[in-house]
Structure 1
């Protein structure tokens, strides 16, 4: 299985199924964060998988140790994934380590606080956004024609990539909201 397909599948799980299982969300977000951070610097496929696996294991171990703060941690991980994608979109061409770190850290911390305060509702958005970033990275890795989804450079590529990211995020939010209303505390009573 190529790296693009693996990232695409993990991203789809996180984007469309993330709120259902906290363990799945932790593993997928940790894998995605490791992969996306390594991908910012054009690492080899083996390095990408290694960073992804290390990210998944570290995220799961830390979350298990501090389960009380799991919403905060998952929010931070998925926010950092979104931050990595934002850093990539904001920096066409070569990426600057310092700017990337600032963006990833800022978005990750903000998302962690949102997840801690709003719990399932924030995690619904954050897993959708993080999963969508992984799906686009996976699609961009699979074929040269879609490479701009992974590393947009020209203005039209940045706009298209951002719109695709927003569209996938909204689709993930809708799917998760409809599939898992009990996790979100939504009463689904219909009136005739």
Structure 2
């Protein structure tokens, strides 16, 4: 059950994130809350609680400071990518300090990129963040895919990372084709207007 919820939210964020900023904010907040709680092997109830608090908090804060929404969404999706990266870097035992440094660093860098490059950066960030959620959800659906959620051995880490890159690329491609007007693309040749 928990894997399917994360998988569905990840699919929405990865393949439809740039289509609606409200959906992107809710999905990114949900994912960030989930991924941070998941770093520390929280129970299913705690995971959902953190995810819901993350979604509501992200939406309320973004609504209050809508002028800075690209910055905030970039920070949220970057923090999701940072949480996935922290998970990949530290299989097994999670270190709060290292996790915090990675999550905050990637989140802040992503926020500045999103503020500077707007839709283009958000296209990448929602694809990368959604892909991390998809892998986390798939890893929870069946034991044979558990390595996607918690890669321990070298081949598992490599496979998980390559799948993360491939899914993010697929999300980028789909969003670019579905929402060219949001990216100010000329639909005839894919160049900027």
Report if TM-score (shorter chain) is over 0.5.
yes
Q: Deviations for 1:140-159, whole angstroms, at most 9, x for unmatched residues? A: 01111111111111100100
| Equivalent residue, structure 2, for 1:163 | 162
Question: Residue 140 of structure 2: SS of its match in structure 1?
Answer: helix
| Equivalent residue, structure 2, for 1:118 | 117
Correspondence 1:94 to 2:93:
yes
Correspondence 1:132 to 2:131:
yes
Q: For 1:48 and 1:30, how far apart are their aligned partners in 2? A: 13
Q: Deviations for 1:102-141, whole angstroms, at most 9, x for unmatched residues? A: 0000000000000000000000000000000000000001
| Equivalent residue, structure 1, for 2:3 | 4
| Equivalent residue, structure 2, for 1:186 | 185
| Equivalent residue, structure 1, for 2:57 | 58
Q: For 1:156 and 1:130, how far apart are their aligned partners in 2? A: 22
Question: Residue 184 of structure 1: SS of its match in structure 2?
Answer: coil
| Equivalent residue, structure 1, for 2:26 | 27
User: What's the C-alpha RMSD, in Å, of the aligned pairs?
Assistant: 0.6
Structure 1 residue runs of 4+, over 2 Å off? none
Q: For 1:39 and 1:93, how far apart are their aligned partners in 2? A: 12
Correspondence 1:172 to 2:171:
yes
Cα shift at 1:189: 2.1
Question: Residue 186 of structure 1: SS of its match in structure 2?
Answer: coil
| Equivalent residue, structure 1, for 2:43 | 44
Q: For 1:119 and 1:174, how far apart are their aligned partners in 2? A: 17
Question: Residue 181 of structure 1: SS of its match in structure 2?
Answer: coil
| Equivalent residue, structure 2, for 1:141 | 140
Q: For 2:118 and 2:147, how far apart are their aligned partners in 1? A: 33
Q: For 2:30 and 2:187, how far apart are their aligned partners in 1? A: 33
| Equivalent residue, structure 2, for 1:69 | 68
TM-score by length of 1: 0.98
